C-alpha cells in the first residue's frame, strides 16, 4: 500500500456516515429477517434471530467504517481499495455460515443460506455510503 496524498475523511464525517450506514443496514436486515421468519423460509432458527442479526450487522458496519477510515489515511485510492476489500470480506464472511451448517446438526441449509444472505445488505450499504465517491 502506498501512502496517500488523499485527504483523510474527517472523523465526524466518518462517524456520521457509519451511523447512517448502520441504520440503513439494520432496517434492511430486520425486514429481510421478518420476511424469512414470517414466511417460514428458514427451516430452523437456532442462529437466525433478531438479536444476532442486530449484533452481526452492527459489527459488520462498524468494522467497515474503521477499515474505510484507515484506508482514507493510508492509501492513495481509498474508495477503490475499500470496494475490493469489502468484496473480499463479503465472500470470506460466508465461510463461518457454511461451517456452521456442517458443524451443527440443528442448522438447516435454509438457515445457513439465510444467514449468508444477511451479509450482503451491510456490504452493499457500506460500499454505497462510506466512500467519498461510490
**What separation in angstroms does the CA of 86 have from each of 8, 64, 95, 126?**
19, 8, 15, 8
Cβ pair 67, 7 in contact under 8 A: no
Give the pLDDT confidence score for residue 102 in this predicted structure: 94
Give the pLDDT confidence score for residue 134 in this predicted structure: 44
Burial class (CB in 10 A: 0-12, 13-18, 19+), 17: buried
Report d(CA 42, CA 50) in Å as an integer.
13
SS3 80: helix
H or E element that contains 46: none
SS3 44: coil
Cβ pair 94, 116 in contact under 8 A: yes
Q: What is the reported pTM?
A: 0.90
Cell numbers given for 102: 456442517
**How high is the mean pLDDT in each 10-residue block of the chain (134 residues)?**
68 97 98 96 90 97 98 94 98 96 92 96 98 73
The gap between the terminal CA atoms of the chain, to the nearest Å, is 20
Give the pLDDT confidence score for residue 7 in this predicted structure: 81
Amino acid at each position: 500500500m502506498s501512502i496517500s496524498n488523499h485527504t483523510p475523511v474527517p472523523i465526524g464525517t466518518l462517524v456520521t456516515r457509519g451511523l447512517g450506514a448502520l441504520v440503513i443496514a439494520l432496517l434492511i436486515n430486520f425486514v429481510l429477517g421478518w420476511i424469512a421468519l414470517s414466511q417460514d423460509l428458514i427451516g430452523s432458527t437456532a442462529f437466525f434471530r433478531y438479536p444476532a442479526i442486530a449484533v452481526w450487522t452492527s459489527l459488520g458496519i462498524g468494522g467497515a467504517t474503521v477499515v474505510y477510515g484507515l484506508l482514507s489515511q493510508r492509501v492513495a485510492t481509498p474508495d477503490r481499495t475499500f470496494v475490493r476489500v469489502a468484496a473480499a470480506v463479503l465472500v470470506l464472511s460466508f465461510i463461518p455460515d457454511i461451517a456452521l451448517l456442517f458443524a451443527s446438526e440443528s442448522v438447516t441449509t435454509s438457515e445457513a443460506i439465510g444467514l449468508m444472505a444477511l451479509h450482503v445488505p451491510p456490504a452493499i450499504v457500506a460500499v454505497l455510503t462510506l466512500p467519498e465517491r461510490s
